[in-house]
Structure 1
């Protein structure tokens, strides 16, 4: 996967506590192609890798924009971006990667909460350009905390802003209770919002992106074997060890980041065997196909897996 250096070209606050960064190639070249829903990994330092959605115009390859919410109780990534990453600074990035791709549809219902507006923003422009029918319900703690509202104003009444301090929790009924056939629902935001949307929305119509891992109900952890097809090795994965840790412990280099099953960095092709999926990335259809797995959290439903490693 592409890993390269970009330079911070601009910093501006998109809302209270939300810092937008413009990133460019240091030599003025084009950045890699991406589509709405994509994110990149910022490699901020040893053990400090964070994923941020791209929220600019995919057609403009001269620059990328990301937006970072300052989280005082976070793990250090947002504090670093807000406090130490200034204009002119260079940072390594990896990607783009997309597990939240906008699929073709005649109609869309978009639901965003807080910083979850970032992957949705370029989707709106794409839906508009495609001539699709769409609407956005966007909630946040307060109007001042909701990023990019000025950009959203051009869409008129197709965008409904619902600050919690003015109107309470998002009213999902009018958006989700009656969904015409062929409509896709895209949702990104905090876990309570995603859980509420999942409860009301038919699974086949819904696409979500999570910042935190979803609670999983997998089989009881047990020991199994993993054959690494390209490396010609077979490893035993103990019940209390992840596939990722077992593979790395054997000296095999693999890409990984969150170790929680949310970012998709460690996605690995499955050549044989049945994965016990415990990630928050794959759709139900992708899980049923069993062609890939996130080796940081997922395990095996049987005695053996064969992976393309």
Structure 2
């Protein structure tokens, strides 16, 4: 189960905007009155509420010890659904933006050694992890790929780590050599990876022989699920609200409960951010998200109601 979010929601000021790489900007956010922001740990993200129902999730990539500022980085994606374009075109130094969080679905767990693998903008959640394990004196290595050096953000920040970082722009080295780093399972190593789906799928394949739980990933897009169809209708009992709703085959639990007037939180609606994670009191979920681990899925204690359904005729949820 992911760490619960704070209830914090605040209009923050863009204190600094900088070019982090080609098509990538970094934003430093501060409280307008200089107040301290909620604590966070490596792997956490926040949500930017950009108006007109547009909400986007971005990893915190600054220093968790700095309670006065949150830093994020945003890549302008060619297939943007409006989020990255809005941030790039409309958020400048001095502007304000509504921010909610933080939440952490990608926590840094104790290990004897770490291998970090980043693809493109996937470097963002790994930056504070690298800093944390370096400060702790734990052995680690970062394999960082991108289209070109110019497209890879925060390389100057990583330079002081020397040979602990392998920068591998594709136009110079080709695809990342995963065999060299993941070919032999290592029970003492945790692998943390974030990046585009083809990279994550390749790493999953390479890590099949590794111990359970050795691979930790965060996705920016939903993992392709096996064809499951729209499913059958089922009933959701909202225990806290005392409301029972029917979820038709082509509707989600989220849409059904919100249509019934229940203010369930949500953000991505793709099963990748964890905002809609809801406690399951009775029934068996049909998990279709890209957040929960296999162990969490098997436990069935929570579900992402924006995409997941029920395996039986009834679910009782803490809503």
TM bucket (normalised to shorter chain) is over 0.9
In structure 1, how many angstroms separate the alpha carbons of the residues matched to 2:301 and 2:132?
29
The counterpart of 2:224, out of the listed 215, 224, 230, is: 215
The counterpart of 1:16, out of the listed 22, 29, 32, is: 22
The counterpart of 1:34, out of the listed 40, 45, 53, is: 40
Gaps of 5+ in 1: none
Q: Equivalences for 1:158-177 in 2 at 5 Å?
A: 158-177=164-183
* 1:199 corresponds to: 205
* 1:224 corresponds to: 234
Q: Equivalences for 1:235-246 in 2 at 5 Å?
A: 235-246=245-256
* 2:268 corresponds to: 258
Cα deviation per residue 1:269-302 (whole Å; 9 max; x = unaligned)? 1011110000001111111111110000000011
Gaps of 5+ in 2: 1-6
1:229, 1:307 within 8 Å by CA — same for their partners in 2?
yes
* 2:158 corresponds to: 152
Stretch of structure 1 that moved more, 238-247 or 177-186: 177-186
Q: What is the TM-score normalised by the length of structure 2?
A: 0.95
* 1:279 corresponds to: 289
1:225, 1:234 within 8 Å by CA — same for their partners in 2?
yes
1:218, 1:276 within 8 Å by CA — same for their partners in 2?
no
The alignment yields a C-alpha RMSD, in angstroms, of 1.0
Cα deviation per residue 1:93-124 (whole Å; 9 max; x = unaligned)? 01000000101111111000000000000000
1:218, 1:278 within 8 Å by CA — same for their partners in 2?
no
* 2:149 corresponds to: 143
* Equivalences, count: 309
Instruction: Determine whether 1:101 maps to 2:107.
Output: yes
1:257, 1:266 within 8 Å by CA — same for their partners in 2?
yes
Q: What is the TM-score normalised by the length of structure 1?
A: 0.98
Deviation at 1:217, TM superposition (A): 2.7
1:108, 1:134 within 8 Å by CA — same for their partners in 2?
yes
* 2:4 corresponds to: none
* 2:140 corresponds to: 134
* 1:249 corresponds to: 259
In structure 2, how many angstroms separate the alpha carbons of the residues matched to 1:158 and 1:3?
37
* 1:125 corresponds to: 131
Moved over 4 A (4+): none
* 1:69 corresponds to: 75
SS of alignment partner, residue 307 of structure 2 = coil
Deviation at 1:219, TM superposition (A): 4.8
Deviation at 1:73, TM superposition (A): 2.2
Deviation at 1:207, TM superposition (A): 0.6
In structure 1, how many angstroms separate the alpha carbons of the residues matched to 2:190 and 2:269?
29
The counterpart of 2:194, out of the listed 181, 184, 188, is: 188
1:142, 1:166 within 8 Å by CA — same for their partners in 2?
yes
In structure 2, how many angstroms separate the alpha carbons of the residues matched to 1:287 and 1:166?
40
